[in-house]
Structures are given as C-alpha cells and as structure tokens.
Amino acid sequence: MTTYLTERIAVNPDICNGRPVIRGMRITVQTVLEFLFAGTSREELLYQYPSLESEDIDACYQFAIEMMNRNYFIKEIKHVA
C-alpha cells in the first residue's frame, strides 16, 4: 500500500525498502538530496533522471525541511557487561 507523505513524496514497503520515493517511482528522496549536496545542478539532475520534474526536487527540499521540524529525543542506552 502506498502512503503519500506529500503530493509528490510517497512511501510503499514494496518500493525501495519503504524509503520515501518521488511519485511512486524508484527514485528516493535521499538519492536526489545526495546528488544536490554533492554539487550536481538541478539541470543536470533533471537531465540524468528524465522522469523527474523540477517540482519533484522542490518537494525533496520541502520534505527534508519537514523532517527537521519534528522533535527528536536521544535516549541513553545502558550496556550490560
């Protein structure tokens, strides 16, 4: 079953091991962000992945921002020797 997290970002346990993907394709949000972080231009990324749209890249940025808006807690795990 596919769950849409945004209009363009979806999660399906049967696609890419349940990682967030773009519009149900096998292109993960992580892949897009890693290329951009490595210095790949938006134009080059769209050329390399012709099924991507500029709005998909915007959705990846927005998704990352939304993830950072969540609260995270660090738990101390005690190791038993």
Q: Residue 37 domain-assigned? A: yes
Rounded to whole angstroms, the Cα distance separating 20 from 80 reads 35
Domain count, the chain: 1
Tell me, yes or no, whether 45 lies in a domain.
yes
At 25-63, the pLDDT tens digits run: 999 999 999 999 999 999 999 999 999 999 999 999 999
Q: Is residue 17 part of a domain?
A: yes
Q: Let me know if residue 13 belongs to a domain.
A: yes
Q: Supply the pTM of this predicted model.
A: 0.81
Domain assignment of residue 34, yes or no: yes
Q: What is the CATH number of the domain that holds 62?
A: 1.10.10.10
CB 32 within 8 Å of CB 52: yes
Is 23 part of any domain? Answer: yes
* pLDDT higher at 61 or 80: 61
In percent, the amount of the chain with pLDDT more than 70 equals 99
